[in-house]
Amino acid sequence: MDRRVLVTGASGFIGRRLVVALAARGVPVRCLVRSPVQFPVPVEIVQGDLLEPLTLQPALAGVDTVYYLVHSMAGGRTEFERRDREAAENLRRAAEQAGVRRVIYLGGLGETGAGLSGHLASRLEVASILKQGSYATTFLRAAIIYGAGGASFEMIRALVLHLPVMITPRWVSTRCQPIAVGDVIRYLVGCFFEEATAGETFDIGGPEILSYREMMERFAALAGRRLAIVPVPVLTPRLSSYWVGLITPVKPSIAIPLIEGLASEVICRENRIRELIPFPLTPFNEAVMQALEEEKTLQKS
Ligand SMILES: NC(=O)c1ccc[n+]([C@@H]2O[C@H](COP(=O)([O-])OP(=O)(O)OC[C@H]3O[C@@H](n4cnc5c(N)ncnc54)[C@H](OP(=O)(O)O)[C@@H]3O)[C@@H](O)[C@H]2O)c1
């Protein structure tokens, strides 16, 4: 295998898992990290920052495919869209100069339009910047990803485990198509090996479409908790983001943009990827149980 891969966001929720999965398939992996990180597999590590273009050329030397798994919300709520725009533009320019052949980007599901939250709109903007490059971009669009340490998953987990009664805005009836993190990793790895995915955009989702209310009720039942959800019309997503921020361990700069996105329906519009990368998708209940188990293991280690 001589196709070297650069994983940006390698220290993140998705990136860490992808690095391990690619290495297990014999792919030579280079990880771009801003601060030192250890991985449980032998990989090359390069320190760099997408907002510092000079650090990108050494990271991209000899690279065939770049995974783009970065967002800037942890850096604060103000101007995360500008930082994400700049990071994507820097990567596009540096990848073109380095002669990169493919970029694979995991972003968010959500229709374009005025109602879209700042976070979802920014994820789409990053896709359109990356797609302008001279390489072939694959854009995977996902809704909530279930797995230990995922920001959306951790928010739902904290709400369900800490609040027996939840006063919520109408977003609880918004529909979503969550997906297990293991299935996302299979798609990301699959895209690397399946050339027919180059230059294409795919929606990826789990096997069930659920409202946020159904998701939280099922989660509570699986975790052995009682949960009463009381939707009220006056609570706006912005207001609810403040109390959700108080309960969850997720940084407010990440939690608030994510909650603002809950008003948008996030459901796959098409399933073409199922034919190119076929495997049985993980049912929602199993994804929750796997994530809760994984969390216990992480807490012990
Ligand atoms: N989690 C979900 O439920 C979900 C759902 C749908 C789509 N996605 C998409 O999946 C992708 C990965 O998300 P995630 O959940 O893995 O996020 P995450 O855990 O918050 O990781 C974000 C990564 O971006 C890196 N990063 C941020 N700014 C950077 C910069 N300037 N230069 C280099 N690296 C930088 C971070 O590095 P540091 O460790 O240095 O901060 C971190 O590794 C994103 O595109 C996101 O939109 C996630």
Q: Is the pLDDT of residue 178 over 70?
A: yes
293 domain-assigned? no
249 domain-assigned? no
260 domain-assigned? no
Q: From ligand 1's centre to the CA of 206, what distance in Å? A: 21
What is the rounded CA–CA span in Å between residue 188 and residue 204?
Answer: 10
- 137 Cβ inside 6 Å of ligand 1: no
Q: From ligand 1's centre to the CA of 289, what distance in Å? A: 23
- 139 Cβ inside 6 Å of ligand 1: no
Most confident among 93-97, 115-119, 241-245 (mean pLDDT): 93-97
Residue with the larger pLDDT of the pair 76 and 264: 264
Q: From ligand 1's centre to the CA of 32, what distance in Å? A: 12
The model's pLDDT over 204-258, given as tens digits with 9 standing for 90+, comes to 999 999 998 899 899 999 988 888 888 777 666 666 666 677 777 777 777 777 7
85 domain-assigned? yes
- 9 Cβ inside 6 Å of ligand 1: yes
188 domain-assigned? yes
Q: State the sign of the Cα–Cα–Cα–Cα dihedral 74, 167, 154, 264.
A: negative
Q: Is the pLDDT of residue 259 over 80?
A: no
State the total domains in the chain. Answer: 1
The model's pLDDT over 189-208, given as tens digits with 9 standing for 90+, comes to 999 999 999 999 999 999 99
22 domain-assigned? yes
112 domain-assigned? yes
Residue 228 burial (C-beta neighbours within 10 Å; 0-12, 13-18, 19+): exposed
- 205 Cβ inside 6 Å of ligand 1: no
Domain that holds residue 98: 5-144+179-204+267-277
Q: From ligand 1's centre to the CA of 224, what distance in Å? A: 31
CATH number reported for the structural domain that contains residue 20 in this entry: 3.40.50.720
117 domain-assigned? yes
Q: From ligand 1's centre to the CA of 151, what distance in Å? A: 10
